[in-house]
Amino acid sequence: MWTSRRQGLSLAWKFLLCFSAVLVTLIFAMLVYVNFLADRFVVGRTTEDLLQGQAQINSAVKCQLSALSLTARVVGSFHRLREAMDKTDLPSVRNFLFTYQQENRGPDLLIVLDGDGRVLARTDSLQRDPVRDVKSHWTAPALSSGTAQRTLYTRDAVYNAAIARSETEGHVFGFVLAGSRMDNTFARELRSVSDDEIVILGDRVIGSTIPGSVLPWHSRADWHAKPNGSRGGDAVRIGTGRYLFPPALQKDLRNSVSAVRIGAETYFVLPTTLAYAGAPLILCLQSADKALAPYQRIQIGLLVLGILAAVIGVAGSALFARRLTAPIVELVKATREVAGGNFDFRLKVQRRDEIGVLAQSFNSMTHGLRERADMQKFVSQSTLQMIQSAGNKALTGERKVLTIFFSDIRGFTSLSEHRDPEQVVKILNRVFTVQARRVKQFSGDIDKFVGDAIVALFAGEDAPINAIRCASEIHKEMQEYNAQLLSNEPPIELGIGISTGEVILGSIGSEDRRDFTAIGSHVNLCARLCGLARPGEILLAESTHREVRNVVTAERLPARRVKGFSDPVAVYKVES
């Protein structure tokens, strides 16, 4: 349809442009009229919804604080906790808190304090970080009224929290503080209650259902300084219209509701201050654009007749465009499939032009990605990271402090003697899947599978405790697995050894075949401990026990002589 620049536009294009100009004029007139009517209605309905959502949020937070107060009183009433607090048995206090938290799925934070307000244990940190303003904000109000509720600011998070006395026959020997974290999850919970978008502001953005990158506020101070919207006027401009607050709502809303542009949308914003000490500012937002969506559908209906008239004129162009863009649409679809992990998708474009060449290249690429994904299943995550970094340290090896985890099936030789190889492999895969899932859950990395054994590596400050928790969960899951077996099927029991220390981590092997793994005395010691462990046991080396002795209860066993070590080695058995 295009001609040369000297000739200008063709007659077909001129007719199409003139027809389109008339059509656009009619459509624009309808849009302006419908938009004017919709704007006036949307403001009244949206502001009423904001007030209702504000009340629902206050009610939900009040219920949450009441539940936290009840939890704090219940935890403080347990006899086991009182005995541990009375004896200042900090490991037992911590174990009790973790057990209660896991068994009851919450709350997010539990802190036990002694009678003077000193922290004995807390579930958010291995350290006993003190509670800010503990006497004035927490223990003194709890002593006077039994419980206290307010916002708790910790080093890493913000919580709705409640504290309760732990007492016996009128004697207060400590306090229990329970908290629910205020973050994006909490904001989403408030959205489910109020049907509003939520932004929680303190000294920073504490939680939000809207991506933080597009928010005009970074703290509560930003809101009070410049809310980035109309405040105090009778009308605010949204889209192409002016929203007039209904007379019945002007007195309550014109000094509190703001119209704010966030990203590509316009929102009405109503601030909510929770009725307890130290509470952050909660902003309730309703999208004016979404409120207008139903009326936009009406506008679309009005456009149908005009679109039908335009279809005839552009039918020929549409057919050509479809012919040209159909393969591109298929390519976009294929790209999404590959991005979602479907490497078996193939383009079926049979053309001999550039688009056909592109389709063939795309199919070759997905075939290579499938091969790469299949190969990655046979190497550990650390090996993949080594290959991606391609550094000299990966080739020569580096010293690194790790926690090594060995797990071995007890009596596997006798089990495999009386079964078909296929059945043995099926059992192994099932047991390995259970263990691999738990290792990944606790931030570990499977280094290798050796026969019926697993070697895993844990790194980081929490590596020892993560490895022990992983081992404990594996034993629990294997007990559940054994409980479901038939009477003629033998139970599967594991022995687990854990050691912590410096190892050499690097690429080991020949020029043609290498393996990225860890070697060293601690690896050998861990293997020996695994061999010593009886079914269902977790044995720790001295190096690991030293790291977790304040949080894990373990029994020291008689020193053992093991192969490869001249002196007897200390062994600790984790108590279940």
Q: Write out pLDDT tens, residues 446-460.
A: 988 888 899 999 999
Structure tokens given for 384: 């993949």
The architecture (CATH level 2) of 77-181 comes to 2-Layer Sandwich (3.30)
pLDDT digits (tens, 9 = 90+) for 521-536: 999 999 999 999 999 9
The reply to whether 185-289 shares the fold of 77-181 is yes
The architecture (CATH level 2) of 391-574 comes to 2-Layer Sandwich (3.30)
Q: Which of 152-166, 280-294, 346-360, 418-432 has the lowest mean pLDDT?
A: 346-360
* pLDDT tops 90 at residue 335: no
Mean of pLDDT values over 229-247: 42
pLDDT given at position 160: 92
Cβ contact 548:468 at 8 Å = yes
Q: Which of 80-84, 305-309, 502-506, 530-534 has the lowest mean pLDDT?
A: 305-309
pLDDT digits (tens, 9 = 90+) for 256-287: 777 888 888 888 888 888 777 778 899 999 88
**What ranges do the domains of the chain cover?**
77-181, 185-289, 391-574
pLDDT digits (tens, 9 = 90+) for 74-89: 988 888 888 888 777 8
CB atoms within 10 A of CB 459: 16
| Residue 453 DSSP code | E
Residue 386 Cα to chain centre, angstroms: 26
Structure tokens given for 398: 């580096």
* pLDDT tops 90 at residue 500: yes
The architecture (CATH level 2) of 185-289 comes to 2-Layer Sandwich (3.30)
Whole-angstrom distance, CA of residue 462 vs CA of residue 497:
17
Confidence of residue 385 (pLDDT cuts 50, 70, 90): low
* pLDDT tops 90 at residue 465: yes
* pLDDT tops 90 at residue 402: yes
Instruction: Identify the bridge partners of residue 539 per DSSP, sorted by sequence position.
Output: 497, 573
* pLDDT tops 60 at residue 418: yes
Q: Which residue has the higher pLDDT, 193 or 35?
A: 193
Q: Taking the CA atoms of the chain, what radius of gyration do you get in angstroms?
A: 33
* pLDDT tops 80 at residue 396: no
Q: Which residue has the higher pLDDT, 241 or 349?
A: 349
pLDDT given at position 18: 61
Whole-angstrom distance, CA of residue 400 vs CA of residue 422:
39
pLDDT digits (tens, 9 = 90+) for 154-180: 988 999 999 999 887 778 888 999 999
* SS3 category, 268: strand
How high is the mean pLDDT of the chain? 79
* pLDDT tops 90 at residue 371: no
The verdict on pTM exceeding 0.85 is: no
pLDDT given at position 209: 92
